[in-house]
Amino acid sequence: MVLGGALYGGRWQRDARRFARRQGRALSRRPLWLFSSGPLDSSASRRDLPSPRSVRRTARRLGARGQATFGGCLDARASGRIARSIVQTGKGGDFRDFDAVSEWASGVAREIDSLLDTGV
């Protein structure tokens, strides 16, 4: 399984946190990978972005096999007061790296194939 969420203030959005908490037992019984989307600055271009501490704790609690952080996107159509204020201060933009996402997803797929081959 793959579970991810957008980052706000260094934490996953509430729905992702709530899902991980409520479904923790089921998630911890399956091969699991986590991802986060959110840095809205030049750090997003790094391929080895560290996961926020709260996501690392969730990964440990659920026994995730891996985690990744990717750049996010926040544009003028953003909804919500905080998102709009970020865009108005000029800090929005599109920092997504689809090649990095694809590379990570391919790695997850290879691991899943390997698990299936071993009967896990």
Neighbouring C-beta atoms of residue 110, cutoff 10 Å? 10
Does the pLDDT value for residue 120 go beyond 70? no
Confidence of residue 21 (pLDDT cuts 50, 70, 90): very high
Radius of gyration of the chain (CA): 15
By CB neighbour count within 10 A (0-12 exposed, 13-18 middle, 19+ buried), where does 65 fall?
Answer: middle
Q: Domains of the chain: which residue ranges?
A: 2-118
Q: What is the pLDDT of residue 60?
A: 97
pLDDT, tens only, 31-86: 999 999 988 887 877 777 888 899 999 999 999 999 999 998 888 787 778 777 87
Prediction pTM value: 0.87
Query: Do 35 and 4 meet the contact criterion of CB atoms below 8 Å apart?
Result: yes
